[in-house]
Structure 1
Protein backbone atom coordinates (compact mmCIF):
# COMPACT_ATOMS: atom_id res chain seq x y z
CA UNK A 1 0.00 0.00 0.00
CA UNK A 2 2.84 2.34 0.91
CA UNK A 3 4.50 1.57 -2.44
CA UNK A 4 1.30 2.47 -4.33
CA UNK A 5 1.00 5.77 -2.47
CA UNK A 6 4.65 6.57 -3.17
CA UNK A 7 4.17 5.98 -6.90
CA UNK A 8 1.08 8.22 -6.93
CA UNK A 9 2.97 10.99 -5.17
CA UNK A 10 5.83 10.66 -7.67
CA UNK A 11 3.46 10.87 -10.65
CA UNK A 12 1.76 13.94 -9.23
CA UNK A 13 5.15 15.51 -8.63
CA UNK A 14 6.08 14.94 -12.28
CA UNK A 15 2.99 16.81 -13.40
CA UNK A 16 3.39 19.61 -10.88
CA UNK A 17 7.10 20.26 -10.76
CA UNK A 18 8.35 18.80 -14.04
CA UNK A 19 10.94 16.13 -14.56
CA UNK A 20 14.01 18.27 -13.78
CA UNK A 21 12.50 19.61 -10.55
CA UNK A 22 11.65 16.06 -9.45
CA UNK A 23 15.28 14.97 -9.71
CA UNK A 24 16.16 17.68 -7.21
CA UNK A 25 13.49 16.51 -4.76
CA UNK A 26 13.94 12.75 -4.76
CA UNK A 27 16.39 10.26 -6.23
CA UNK A 28 14.93 7.07 -7.65
CA UNK A 29 16.75 3.88 -8.64
CA UNK A 30 15.22 3.98 -12.11
CA UNK A 31 14.96 6.80 -14.70
CA UNK A 32 11.66 8.62 -15.15
CA UNK A 33 10.59 9.58 -18.67
CA UNK A 34 7.62 11.77 -19.39
CA UNK A 35 6.02 10.66 -22.69
CA UNK A 36 5.54 13.35 -25.33
CA UNK A 37 2.08 13.53 -26.84
CA UNK A 38 2.78 13.71 -30.59
CA UNK A 39 -0.77 14.85 -31.35
CA UNK A 40 -0.50 17.69 -28.85
CA UNK A 41 2.91 18.64 -30.24
CA UNK A 42 1.55 18.75 -33.80
CA UNK A 43 -1.34 20.91 -32.66
CA UNK A 44 1.05 23.35 -30.96
CA UNK A 45 3.20 23.50 -34.11
CA UNK A 46 0.16 24.20 -36.28
CA UNK A 47 -0.98 26.91 -33.86
CA UNK A 48 2.43 28.59 -34.00
CA UNK A 49 2.34 28.48 -37.81
CA UNK A 50 -1.07 30.17 -37.76
CA UNK A 51 0.23 32.89 -35.44
CA UNK A 52 3.22 33.49 -37.73
CA UNK A 53 0.97 33.62 -40.79
CA UNK A 54 -1.34 36.12 -39.09
CA UNK A 55 1.67 38.31 -38.31
CA UNK A 56 2.63 38.76 -41.97
CA UNK A 57 -0.91 39.27 -43.26
CA UNK A 58 -1.87 41.81 -40.61
CA UNK A 59 -0.34 44.78 -42.44
CA UNK A 60 -1.60 45.96 -45.84
CA UNK A 61 -2.90 42.55 -46.93
CA UNK A 62 -4.42 43.43 -50.31
CA UNK A 63 -5.12 41.07 -53.22
CA UNK A 64 -5.82 43.72 -55.86
CA UNK A 65 -3.17 46.41 -55.32
CA UNK A 66 0.40 45.66 -56.37
CA UNK A 67 1.81 48.12 -53.83
CA UNK A 68 -0.50 48.43 -50.82
CA UNK A 69 2.17 50.25 -48.76
CA UNK A 70 1.87 53.68 -50.38
CA UNK A 71 1.07 55.36 -47.06
CA UNK A 72 3.82 53.56 -45.11
CA UNK A 73 6.94 55.58 -44.28
CA UNK A 74 10.10 53.49 -44.71
CA UNK A 75 13.05 54.29 -42.46
CA UNK A 76 16.55 53.56 -43.78
CA UNK A 77 18.72 51.62 -43.34
CA UNK A 78 16.49 48.52 -43.44
CA UNK A 79 17.49 45.34 -41.62
CA UNK A 80 16.64 42.09 -43.43
CA UNK A 81 17.31 38.67 -41.91
CA UNK A 82 17.19 35.19 -43.42
CA UNK A 83 16.86 31.83 -41.67
CA UNK A 84 18.63 29.94 -44.45
CA UNK A 85 21.96 30.42 -46.19
CA UNK A 86 20.49 29.42 -49.57
CA UNK A 87 17.33 30.12 -51.56
CA UNK A 88 15.43 27.88 -53.95
CA UNK A 89 16.10 28.79 -57.55
CA UNK A 90 12.92 30.24 -59.09
CA UNK A 91 13.54 28.13 -62.21
CA UNK A 92 14.65 24.52 -62.56
CA UNK A 93 17.68 25.07 -64.77
CA UNK A 94 20.81 27.19 -65.09
CA UNK A 95 19.94 30.83 -64.48
CA UNK A 96 20.82 33.34 -67.20
CA UNK A 97 20.15 36.95 -66.20
CA UNK A 98 19.27 38.85 -69.38
CA UNK A 99 18.53 42.24 -67.80
CA UNK A 100 19.44 43.57 -64.37
CA UNK A 101 17.99 45.95 -61.82
CA UNK A 102 18.75 49.47 -63.00
CA UNK A 103 18.07 52.19 -65.54
CA UNK A 104 16.94 50.79 -68.89
CA UNK A 105 15.78 52.62 -72.00
CA UNK A 106 15.07 55.75 -69.98
CA UNK A 107 12.99 53.91 -67.37
CA UNK A 108 13.51 52.21 -64.05
CA UNK A 109 13.79 48.41 -64.33
CA UNK A 110 12.90 47.35 -60.79
CA UNK A 111 13.78 43.67 -60.96
CA UNK A 112 15.88 41.21 -62.91
CA UNK A 113 14.93 39.16 -65.96
CA UNK A 114 15.82 35.46 -65.99
CA UNK A 115 15.66 33.57 -69.27
CA UNK A 116 13.21 30.69 -69.60
CA UNK A 117 10.99 28.93 -72.12
CA UNK A 118 7.24 29.38 -71.97
CA UNK A 119 5.87 26.55 -69.87
CA UNK A 120 8.93 26.22 -67.61
CA UNK A 121 8.00 25.75 -63.95
CA UNK A 122 8.50 28.63 -61.51
CA UNK A 123 9.17 27.96 -57.82
CA UNK A 124 8.96 29.83 -54.50
CA UNK A 125 12.34 31.08 -53.32
CA UNK A 126 11.26 30.92 -49.64
CA UNK A 127 8.35 30.00 -47.40
CA UNK A 128 5.52 32.51 -47.47
CA UNK A 129 1.88 33.33 -48.17
CA UNK A 130 0.46 34.28 -51.57
CA UNK A 131 -0.78 37.87 -51.43
CA UNK A 132 -1.60 38.20 -55.13
CA UNK A 133 -2.21 35.72 -57.91
CA UNK A 134 -3.77 37.66 -60.76
CA UNK A 135 -3.18 39.72 -63.88
CA UNK A 136 -1.52 43.10 -63.34
CA UNK A 137 -0.76 45.90 -65.79
CA UNK A 138 2.66 45.48 -67.35
CA UNK A 139 3.56 42.37 -65.38
CA UNK A 140 0.81 40.20 -66.86
CA UNK A 141 0.01 37.05 -64.87
CA UNK A 142 1.74 37.68 -61.57
CA UNK A 143 2.26 35.93 -58.25
CA UNK A 144 3.30 38.03 -55.25
CA UNK A 145 4.59 36.00 -52.32
CA UNK A 146 5.02 37.62 -48.92
CA UNK A 147 7.71 36.10 -46.70
CA UNK A 148 8.20 35.93 -42.95
CA UNK A 149 11.02 38.52 -43.00
CA UNK A 150 8.65 41.10 -44.57
CA UNK A 151 10.14 40.80 -48.04
CA UNK A 152 7.89 40.10 -51.01
CA UNK A 153 9.07 38.27 -54.12
CA UNK A 154 7.23 38.94 -57.36
CA UNK A 155 7.08 36.40 -60.21
CA UNK A 156 5.81 38.12 -63.37
CA UNK A 157 4.95 37.36 -67.03
CA UNK A 158 3.64 33.87 -66.15
CA UNK A 159 1.60 31.79 -68.58
CA UNK A 160 -0.25 29.80 -65.89
CA UNK A 161 -0.97 30.08 -62.18
CA UNK A 162 -0.16 27.25 -59.79
CA UNK A 163 -1.35 28.90 -56.58
CA UNK A 164 -4.21 31.06 -55.40
CA UNK A 165 -4.37 34.00 -53.02
CA UNK A 166 -3.96 33.21 -49.29
CA UNK A 167 -2.20 29.91 -50.05
CA UNK A 168 0.64 29.10 -47.66
CA UNK A 169 3.63 27.81 -49.61
CA UNK A 170 6.97 26.29 -48.71
CA UNK A 171 10.36 27.00 -50.20
CA UNK A 172 10.55 25.22 -53.56
CA UNK A 173 6.79 24.89 -54.05
CA UNK A 174 5.40 25.25 -57.58
CA UNK A 175 3.94 28.72 -58.23
CA UNK A 176 3.10 28.59 -61.92
CA UNK A 177 4.60 28.45 -65.39
CA UNK A 178 6.74 31.06 -67.09
CA UNK A 179 5.64 32.88 -70.20
CA UNK A 180 5.28 36.20 -72.02
CA UNK A 181 2.11 37.70 -70.53
CA UNK A 182 1.90 41.45 -70.00
CA UNK A 183 4.51 43.79 -71.42
CA UNK A 184 7.19 41.16 -72.04
CA UNK A 185 9.70 41.08 -74.88
CA UNK A 186 10.25 37.36 -75.25
CA UNK A 187 9.68 34.67 -72.64
CA UNK A 188 11.38 35.32 -69.31
CA UNK A 189 10.75 35.52 -65.59
CA UNK A 190 10.68 39.07 -64.27
CA UNK A 191 11.71 38.68 -60.63
CA UNK A 192 11.21 41.57 -58.21
CA UNK A 193 12.14 41.79 -54.52
CA UNK A 194 10.15 44.36 -52.54
CA UNK A 195 10.19 45.53 -48.94
CA UNK A 196 6.90 47.22 -48.04
CA UNK A 197 6.44 48.39 -51.60
CA UNK A 198 10.05 49.49 -52.16
CA UNK A 199 11.98 47.52 -54.78
CA UNK A 200 15.46 46.31 -53.79
CA UNK A 201 18.15 45.13 -56.19
CA UNK A 202 17.76 41.31 -55.96
CA UNK A 203 21.48 40.81 -56.54
CA UNK A 204 22.21 42.63 -53.29
CA UNK A 205 20.66 39.66 -51.46
CA UNK A 206 21.20 36.71 -53.78
CA UNK A 207 23.92 35.23 -55.95
CA UNK A 208 22.23 34.13 -59.17
CA UNK A 209 24.53 31.22 -59.92
CA UNK A 210 24.12 27.47 -59.44
CA UNK A 211 24.97 27.67 -55.72
CA UNK A 212 21.84 29.72 -54.90
CA UNK A 213 23.62 31.48 -52.04
CA UNK A 214 22.22 34.26 -49.89
CA UNK A 215 25.02 36.77 -49.31
CA UNK A 216 24.50 36.82 -45.52
CA UNK A 217 21.86 35.91 -42.95
CA UNK A 218 21.66 39.55 -41.88
CA UNK A 219 21.88 42.39 -44.39
CA UNK A 220 21.30 46.12 -44.08
CA UNK A 221 19.79 47.98 -47.02
CA UNK A 222 20.43 51.64 -47.82
CA UNK A 223 18.57 53.78 -50.35
CA UNK A 224 21.26 53.14 -52.96
CA UNK A 225 20.01 49.57 -53.37
CA UNK A 226 16.40 50.73 -53.78
CA UNK A 227 16.95 53.25 -56.58
CA UNK A 228 17.40 51.86 -60.12
CA UNK A 229 18.89 55.15 -61.30
CA UNK A 230 22.13 54.26 -59.48
CA UNK A 231 22.48 50.96 -61.34
CA UNK A 232 23.02 49.82 -64.92
CA UNK A 233 20.61 47.17 -66.23
CA UNK A 234 23.28 45.88 -68.63
CA UNK A 235 25.98 45.34 -66.02
CA UNK A 236 26.01 43.86 -62.52
CA UNK A 237 26.63 46.45 -59.84
CA UNK A 238 29.61 46.02 -57.54
CA UNK A 239 28.08 44.34 -54.49
CA UNK A 240 29.47 45.22 -51.06
CA UNK A 241 27.03 43.74 -48.51
CA UNK A 242 26.44 45.81 -45.37
CA UNK A 243 26.42 43.37 -42.45
CA UNK A 244 25.82 45.74 -39.53
CA UNK A 245 23.91 48.93 -38.87
CA UNK A 246 27.18 50.78 -38.27
CA UNK A 247 28.45 49.73 -41.71
CA UNK A 248 25.18 50.86 -43.27
CA UNK A 249 25.31 54.28 -41.60
CA UNK A 250 28.95 54.76 -42.57
CA UNK A 251 28.12 53.93 -46.21
CA UNK A 252 25.61 56.78 -46.35
CA UNK A 253 28.52 59.19 -46.60
CA UNK A 254 28.69 59.28 -50.40
CA UNK A 255 32.01 59.20 -52.17
CA UNK A 256 32.28 61.75 -54.95
CA UNK A 257 35.02 61.79 -57.57
CA UNK A 258 35.74 64.09 -60.49
CA UNK A 259 35.82 62.76 -64.04
CA UNK A 260 37.42 64.83 -66.82
CA UNK A 261 35.75 64.31 -70.18
CA UNK A 262 38.06 62.80 -72.80
CA UNK A 263 37.86 62.87 -76.62
CA UNK A 264 35.16 60.48 -77.83
CA UNK A 265 33.39 60.38 -74.46
CA UNK A 266 29.62 60.28 -74.25
CA UNK A 267 27.39 60.10 -71.20
CA UNK A 268 26.68 56.50 -72.14
CA UNK A 269 30.37 55.58 -72.27
CA UNK A 270 31.14 57.40 -69.01
CA UNK A 271 28.18 55.65 -67.39
CA UNK A 272 29.35 52.21 -68.51
CA UNK A 273 33.02 52.72 -67.59
CA UNK A 274 32.20 54.04 -64.12
CA UNK A 275 29.37 51.59 -63.33
CA UNK A 276 26.88 54.36 -62.66
CA UNK A 277 23.68 55.19 -64.52
CA UNK A 278 23.30 58.14 -66.89
CA UNK A 279 20.42 59.36 -64.73
CA UNK A 280 22.68 59.44 -61.66
CA UNK A 281 25.36 61.42 -63.56
CA UNK A 282 22.75 63.90 -64.76
CA UNK A 283 21.26 64.32 -61.31
CA UNK A 284 24.51 65.03 -59.47
CA UNK A 285 25.72 67.41 -62.23
CA UNK A 286 22.35 69.12 -62.81
CA UNK A 287 22.38 68.33 -66.54
CA UNK A 288 20.07 66.50 -68.94
CA UNK A 289 20.59 63.37 -71.00
CA UNK A 290 20.59 65.57 -74.10
CA UNK A 291 23.26 67.94 -72.74
CA UNK A 292 26.34 68.12 -74.99
CA UNK A 293 29.48 67.45 -72.94
CA UNK A 294 32.84 68.91 -73.97
CA UNK A 295 36.40 67.61 -73.82
CA UNK A 296 38.03 68.78 -70.59
CA UNK A 297 34.72 69.30 -68.84
CA UNK A 298 34.63 68.11 -65.23
CA UNK A 299 31.79 65.85 -64.12
CA UNK A 300 31.04 64.62 -60.64
CA UNK A 301 30.69 60.84 -60.25
CA UNK A 302 28.91 59.87 -57.06
CA UNK A 303 28.73 56.30 -55.77
Structure 2
Protein backbone atom coordinates (compact mmCIF):
# COMPACT_ATOMS: atom_id res chain seq x y z
CA UNK A 1 0.00 0.00 0.00
CA UNK A 2 2.86 2.41 0.84
CA UNK A 3 4.44 1.86 -2.57
CA UNK A 4 1.14 2.65 -4.27
CA UNK A 5 0.75 5.87 -2.28
CA UNK A 6 4.36 6.89 -2.99
CA UNK A 7 3.77 6.34 -6.70
CA UNK A 8 0.58 8.36 -6.47
CA UNK A 9 2.41 11.25 -4.82
CA UNK A 10 5.12 11.27 -7.53
CA UNK A 11 2.51 11.10 -10.31
CA UNK A 12 0.52 14.03 -8.90
CA UNK A 13 3.69 16.02 -8.26
CA UNK A 14 4.96 15.60 -11.84
CA UNK A 15 1.60 16.46 -13.36
CA UNK A 16 1.15 19.60 -11.29
CA UNK A 17 4.75 20.84 -11.57
CA UNK A 18 4.23 22.60 -14.89
CA UNK A 19 0.72 23.81 -14.06
CA UNK A 20 0.25 24.76 -10.46
CA UNK A 21 2.19 24.44 -7.23
CA UNK A 22 0.80 22.46 -4.40
CA UNK A 23 0.46 25.27 -1.91
CA UNK A 24 -0.27 23.30 1.22
CA UNK A 25 1.98 20.24 0.89
CA UNK A 26 1.73 19.48 4.63
CA UNK A 27 -2.07 19.15 4.37
CA UNK A 28 -1.66 16.85 1.37
CA UNK A 29 0.75 14.51 3.15
CA UNK A 30 -1.46 14.50 6.27
CA UNK A 31 -4.37 13.26 4.15
CA UNK A 32 -2.18 10.52 2.63
CA UNK A 33 -1.03 9.47 6.11
CA UNK A 34 -4.66 9.23 7.28
CA UNK A 35 -5.48 6.96 4.32
CA UNK A 36 -2.49 4.76 5.17
CA UNK A 37 -3.55 4.41 8.82
CA UNK A 38 -7.16 3.62 7.85
CA UNK A 39 -6.00 1.01 5.36
CA UNK A 40 -3.74 -0.59 7.97
CA UNK A 41 -6.59 -0.80 10.50
CA UNK A 42 -8.90 -2.39 7.91
CA UNK A 43 -6.20 -4.88 6.90
CA UNK A 44 -5.67 -5.84 10.55
CA UNK A 45 -9.43 -6.37 10.98
CA UNK A 46 -9.59 -8.62 7.92
CA UNK A 47 -6.56 -10.55 9.18
CA UNK A 48 -8.26 -11.14 12.54
CA UNK A 49 -11.37 -12.52 10.79
CA UNK A 50 -9.23 -14.84 8.67
CA UNK A 51 -7.33 -16.05 11.76
CA UNK A 52 -10.61 -16.69 13.62
CA UNK A 53 -12.04 -18.91 10.86
CA UNK A 54 -10.97 -22.58 11.05
CA UNK A 55 -8.77 -23.96 8.29
CA UNK A 56 -11.37 -26.16 6.62
CA UNK A 57 -8.95 -27.12 3.85
CA UNK A 58 -6.43 -28.64 6.27
CA UNK A 59 -7.86 -32.18 6.31
CA UNK A 60 -9.56 -34.44 3.76
CA UNK A 61 -9.61 -31.76 1.08
CA UNK A 62 -10.01 -32.93 -2.51
CA UNK A 63 -11.19 -31.27 -5.70
CA UNK A 64 -11.68 -34.58 -7.49
CA UNK A 65 -13.13 -37.05 -4.94
CA UNK A 66 -16.80 -36.59 -4.03
CA UNK A 67 -16.36 -38.20 -0.60
CA UNK A 68 -12.82 -37.69 0.74
CA UNK A 69 -13.87 -39.00 4.18
CA UNK A 70 -14.11 -42.70 3.29
CA UNK A 71 -11.42 -43.60 5.82
CA UNK A 72 -12.93 -41.44 8.58
CA UNK A 73 -15.22 -43.06 11.16
CA UNK A 74 -18.03 -40.80 12.36
CA UNK A 75 -19.31 -41.34 15.91
CA UNK A 76 -22.96 -40.89 16.86
CA UNK A 77 -24.76 -39.00 18.15
CA UNK A 78 -23.00 -36.00 16.65
CA UNK A 79 -23.56 -32.32 17.25
CA UNK A 80 -24.01 -29.67 14.55
CA UNK A 81 -23.77 -25.98 15.46
CA UNK A 82 -24.96 -22.94 13.51
CA UNK A 83 -24.11 -19.26 13.98
CA UNK A 84 -27.34 -18.09 12.37
CA UNK A 85 -31.02 -18.85 12.83
CA UNK A 86 -31.61 -18.97 9.07
CA UNK A 87 -29.88 -20.12 5.89
CA UNK A 88 -29.74 -18.48 2.48
CA UNK A 89 -32.29 -20.01 0.13
CA UNK A 90 -30.56 -22.15 -2.52
CA UNK A 91 -33.26 -21.07 -5.00
CA UNK A 92 -35.18 -17.79 -5.07
CA UNK A 93 -38.50 -19.29 -6.12
CA UNK A 94 -40.85 -21.09 -3.70
CA UNK A 95 -39.09 -24.20 -2.42
CA UNK A 96 -41.25 -27.11 -3.58
CA UNK A 97 -39.74 -30.44 -2.48
CA UNK A 98 -40.62 -32.99 -5.15
CA UNK A 99 -38.71 -35.94 -3.70
CA UNK A 100 -37.48 -36.40 -0.17
CA UNK A 101 -34.55 -38.01 1.60
CA UNK A 102 -35.28 -41.71 1.87
CA UNK A 103 -35.68 -45.01 0.05
CA UNK A 104 -36.67 -44.55 -3.60
CA UNK A 105 -37.09 -47.17 -6.32
CA UNK A 106 -34.98 -49.65 -4.38
CA UNK A 107 -32.12 -47.21 -3.81
CA UNK A 108 -31.04 -44.64 -1.25
CA UNK A 109 -31.99 -41.07 -2.16
CA UNK A 110 -29.50 -39.16 -0.01
CA UNK A 111 -30.86 -35.65 -0.48
CA UNK A 112 -33.98 -33.75 -1.43
CA UNK A 113 -35.10 -32.53 -4.85
CA UNK A 114 -36.29 -28.93 -5.13
CA UNK A 115 -38.26 -27.90 -8.20
CA UNK A 116 -36.82 -25.27 -10.53
CA UNK A 117 -36.68 -24.18 -14.15
CA UNK A 118 -33.47 -24.74 -16.11
CA UNK A 119 -31.46 -21.54 -15.87
CA UNK A 120 -32.64 -20.56 -12.38
CA UNK A 121 -29.78 -19.20 -10.26
CA UNK A 122 -28.50 -21.24 -7.31
CA UNK A 123 -26.98 -19.83 -4.13
CA UNK A 124 -24.78 -21.06 -1.28
CA UNK A 125 -26.76 -21.72 1.90
CA UNK A 126 -23.81 -20.65 4.08
CA UNK A 127 -20.35 -19.16 3.72
CA UNK A 128 -17.48 -21.52 2.97
CA UNK A 129 -15.06 -22.71 0.30
CA UNK A 130 -15.90 -24.50 -2.95
CA UNK A 131 -14.34 -27.96 -2.70
CA UNK A 132 -15.66 -29.30 -6.00
CA UNK A 133 -17.09 -27.75 -9.14
CA UNK A 134 -17.08 -30.49 -11.75
CA UNK A 135 -19.07 -33.24 -13.43
CA UNK A 136 -19.76 -36.32 -11.29
CA UNK A 137 -21.45 -39.61 -12.12
CA UNK A 138 -25.19 -39.39 -11.59
CA UNK A 139 -25.13 -35.87 -10.22
CA UNK A 140 -23.94 -34.26 -13.44
CA UNK A 141 -22.52 -30.75 -13.00
CA UNK A 142 -22.00 -30.51 -9.26
CA UNK A 143 -20.84 -27.87 -6.79
CA UNK A 144 -19.77 -28.91 -3.29
CA UNK A 145 -19.24 -26.18 -0.68
CA UNK A 146 -17.51 -26.96 2.60
CA UNK A 147 -18.66 -24.82 5.53
CA UNK A 148 -17.02 -23.80 8.79
CA UNK A 149 -19.22 -25.97 11.04
CA UNK A 150 -18.17 -29.24 9.37
CA UNK A 151 -21.08 -29.53 6.95
CA UNK A 152 -20.83 -29.71 3.17
CA UNK A 153 -23.72 -28.70 0.93
CA UNK A 154 -23.99 -30.36 -2.48
CA UNK A 155 -25.80 -28.73 -5.42
CA UNK A 156 -26.34 -31.19 -8.28
CA UNK A 157 -27.71 -31.31 -11.86
CA UNK A 158 -26.48 -27.79 -12.72
CA UNK A 159 -26.56 -26.44 -16.27
CA UNK A 160 -23.80 -23.89 -15.68
CA UNK A 161 -21.07 -23.22 -13.12
CA UNK A 162 -20.74 -19.82 -11.47
CA UNK A 163 -17.76 -20.60 -9.23
CA UNK A 164 -14.41 -22.39 -9.39
CA UNK A 165 -12.83 -24.91 -7.07
CA UNK A 166 -11.12 -23.32 -4.04
CA UNK A 167 -13.20 -20.14 -4.36
CA UNK A 168 -14.28 -18.61 -1.05
CA UNK A 169 -18.02 -17.91 -1.09
CA UNK A 170 -20.27 -15.90 1.19
CA UNK A 171 -23.68 -16.89 2.47
CA UNK A 172 -26.15 -16.36 -0.37
CA UNK A 173 -23.46 -16.10 -3.06
CA UNK A 174 -24.27 -17.20 -6.60
CA UNK A 175 -23.01 -20.72 -7.46
CA UNK A 176 -24.41 -21.41 -10.92
CA UNK A 177 -27.55 -22.28 -12.86
CA UNK A 178 -29.94 -25.17 -12.22
CA UNK A 179 -30.65 -27.74 -14.90
CA UNK A 180 -30.94 -31.41 -15.83
CA UNK A 181 -27.34 -32.64 -16.15
CA UNK A 182 -26.51 -36.17 -15.01
CA UNK A 183 -29.32 -38.62 -14.32
CA UNK A 184 -31.94 -35.95 -13.62
CA UNK A 185 -35.54 -36.71 -14.51
CA UNK A 186 -36.66 -33.18 -15.25
CA UNK A 187 -35.11 -29.93 -14.06
CA UNK A 188 -34.53 -29.72 -10.31
CA UNK A 189 -31.91 -29.05 -7.66
CA UNK A 190 -30.69 -32.19 -5.92
CA UNK A 191 -29.55 -30.86 -2.55
CA UNK A 192 -27.42 -33.04 -0.26
CA UNK A 193 -26.20 -32.16 3.24
CA UNK A 194 -23.10 -34.13 4.26
CA UNK A 195 -21.11 -34.27 7.48
CA UNK A 196 -17.72 -35.89 6.87
CA UNK A 197 -19.20 -37.86 3.99
CA UNK A 198 -22.33 -38.92 5.89
CA UNK A 199 -25.59 -37.68 4.27
CA UNK A 200 -27.99 -36.11 6.79
CA UNK A 201 -31.68 -35.74 6.07
CA UNK A 202 -31.82 -32.01 5.11
CA UNK A 203 -35.32 -31.61 6.54
CA UNK A 204 -34.08 -32.66 9.98
CA UNK A 205 -31.76 -29.64 10.04
CA UNK A 206 -33.75 -27.09 8.04
CA UNK A 207 -37.31 -25.99 7.39
CA UNK A 208 -37.72 -25.41 3.67
CA UNK A 209 -40.21 -22.59 4.10
CA UNK A 210 -40.32 -18.88 3.28
CA UNK A 211 -38.36 -17.98 6.43
CA UNK A 212 -35.45 -20.34 5.57
CA UNK A 213 -35.32 -21.50 9.19
CA UNK A 214 -32.65 -23.60 10.84
CA UNK A 215 -34.42 -25.79 13.39
CA UNK A 216 -32.00 -24.79 16.17
CA UNK A 217 -28.53 -23.31 16.68
CA UNK A 218 -27.42 -26.64 18.16
CA UNK A 219 -28.77 -29.96 16.91
CA UNK A 220 -27.83 -33.52 17.78
CA UNK A 221 -27.94 -36.06 14.97
CA UNK A 222 -28.47 -39.79 15.44
CA UNK A 223 -27.97 -42.54 12.86
CA UNK A 224 -31.70 -42.51 12.13
CA UNK A 225 -31.27 -39.22 10.31
CA UNK A 226 -28.31 -40.44 8.27
CA UNK A 227 -29.82 -43.65 6.90
CA UNK A 228 -32.31 -43.29 4.01
CA UNK A 229 -33.61 -46.82 4.64
CA UNK A 230 -35.61 -45.48 7.61
CA UNK A 231 -37.37 -42.82 5.52
CA UNK A 232 -39.61 -42.63 2.47
CA UNK A 233 -38.84 -40.30 -0.44
CA UNK A 234 -42.60 -39.83 -0.96
CA UNK A 235 -43.35 -38.02 2.29
CA UNK A 236 -41.65 -36.06 5.02
CA UNK A 237 -40.71 -38.10 8.07
CA UNK A 238 -42.06 -37.04 11.46
CA UNK A 239 -39.33 -34.77 12.77
CA UNK A 240 -38.53 -34.28 16.45
CA UNK A 241 -35.29 -32.26 16.71
CA UNK A 242 -32.84 -33.27 19.41
CA UNK A 243 -31.38 -30.27 21.24
CA UNK A 244 -29.21 -31.99 23.86
CA UNK A 245 -26.95 -35.01 24.04
CA UNK A 246 -29.21 -36.52 26.69
CA UNK A 247 -32.20 -36.31 24.34
CA UNK A 248 -30.14 -37.88 21.56
CA UNK A 249 -29.05 -40.81 23.72
CA UNK A 250 -32.59 -41.37 25.00
CA UNK A 251 -33.92 -41.43 21.43
CA UNK A 252 -31.62 -44.33 20.56
CA UNK A 253 -33.91 -46.66 22.48
CA UNK A 254 -36.02 -47.86 19.57
CA UNK A 255 -39.70 -48.51 20.10
CA UNK A 256 -40.91 -51.76 18.59
CA UNK A 257 -44.58 -52.61 18.16
CA UNK A 258 -46.44 -55.47 16.52
CA UNK A 259 -48.78 -54.90 13.59
CA UNK A 260 -51.30 -57.57 12.58
CA UNK A 261 -51.93 -57.68 8.83
CA UNK A 262 -55.52 -56.86 7.88
CA UNK A 263 -57.54 -57.62 4.73
CA UNK A 264 -56.42 -55.39 1.87
CA UNK A 265 -53.09 -54.52 3.51
CA UNK A 266 -49.93 -54.14 1.46
CA UNK A 267 -46.45 -53.28 2.65
CA UNK A 268 -46.88 -49.86 1.09
CA UNK A 269 -50.13 -49.20 2.96
CA UNK A 270 -48.69 -50.47 6.25
CA UNK A 271 -45.63 -48.26 5.87
CA UNK A 272 -47.76 -45.21 5.08
CA UNK A 273 -50.14 -45.74 8.01
CA UNK A 274 -47.30 -46.32 10.47
CA UNK A 275 -44.95 -43.60 9.18
CA UNK A 276 -42.09 -45.98 8.40
CA UNK A 277 -40.52 -46.95 5.12
CA UNK A 278 -41.16 -50.25 3.33
CA UNK A 279 -37.42 -50.86 3.47
CA UNK A 280 -37.46 -50.48 7.26
CA UNK A 281 -40.31 -53.00 7.63
CA UNK A 282 -38.47 -55.45 5.39
CA UNK A 283 -35.22 -55.03 7.30
CA UNK A 284 -36.76 -55.54 10.74
CA UNK A 285 -38.84 -58.55 9.64
CA UNK A 286 -36.20 -60.03 7.32
CA UNK A 287 -38.49 -60.09 4.32
CA UNK A 288 -38.33 -58.64 0.82
CA UNK A 289 -40.51 -55.92 -0.64
CA UNK A 290 -41.84 -58.56 -3.05
CA UNK A 291 -42.76 -60.94 -0.22
CA UNK A 292 -46.42 -61.94 0.05
CA UNK A 293 -48.00 -61.00 3.38
CA UNK A 294 -51.06 -62.78 4.74
CA UNK A 295 -54.03 -61.65 6.81
CA UNK A 296 -53.27 -62.27 10.48
CA UNK A 297 -49.51 -62.22 9.94
CA UNK A 298 -47.59 -60.31 12.62
CA UNK A 299 -45.03 -57.73 11.56
CA UNK A 300 -42.63 -55.79 13.75
CA UNK A 301 -42.78 -52.01 13.35
CA UNK A 302 -39.69 -50.27 14.66
CA UNK A 303 -39.35 -46.51 15.07
Judge conservation of contact 1:142–1:158 (CA < 8 Å) in 2.
yes
**Match for residue 100 of structure 1?**
100
Deviation of residue 54 (structure 1)?
5.7
Judge conservation of contact 1:231–1:276 (CA < 8 Å) in 2.
yes
**Match for residue 13 of structure 1?**
none
Deviation of residue 273 (structure 1)?
1.4
Structure 1 CA distance for aligned equivalents of residues 266 and 285 of structure 2: 14
Task: Say yes or no: does 1:275 pair with 2:264.
Answer: no
What pairs with 1:44-55 in structure 2 (closer than 5 Å)? 44-51=44-51, 55=55
**Match for residue 30 of structure 2?**
none
What pairs with 1:1-303 in structure 2 (closer than 5 Å)? 38-51=38-51, 55-303=55-303
Deviation of residue 52 (structure 1)?
5.1
Structure 1 CA distance for aligned equivalents of residues 178 and 216 of structure 2: 29
Partner SS, residue 250 of structure 1: helix
Could you say what the CA RMSD is over the residues aligned between the two structures, in angstroms? 1.1
Structure 1 CA distance for aligned equivalents of residues 282 and 275 of structure 2: 14
Q: 1:239 to 1:86 in 2, by over 3 A?
A: same
User: Which of structure 1's runs of 4+ aligned residues deviate more than 2 A?
Assistant: 37-54
Partner SS, residue 207 of structure 1: coil
Structure 2 CA distance for aligned equivalents of residues 171 and 220 of structure 1: 23
Structure 2 CA distance for aligned equivalents of residues 183 and 205 of structure 1: 26
Partner SS, residue 199 of structure 1: strand
Judge conservation of contact 2:54–2:148 (CA < 8 Å) in 1.
no
**Match for residue 23 of structure 1?**
none
Cα shift readout 1:91-147 (whole Å, capped 9, x = no counterpart): 011110000000001100000000000000000101110000000000000000000
Structure 1 CA distance for aligned equivalents of residues 49 and 164 of structure 2: 19
Question: How many residue pairs align between the two structures?
Answer: 267
Judge conservation of contact 1:219–1:243 (CA < 8 Å) in 2.
yes
Q: 1:246 to 1:41 in 2, by over 3 A?
A: farther
Deviation of residue 42 (structure 1)?
2.5
Long gaps (5+) in structure 2:
1-36
Partner SS, residue 183 of structure 1: coil
Structure 1 CA distance for aligned equivalents of residues 227 and 90 of structure 2: 24
Cα shift readout 1:237-285 (whole Å, capped 9, x = no counterpart): 1110000011001101111111111101111111111111111111111
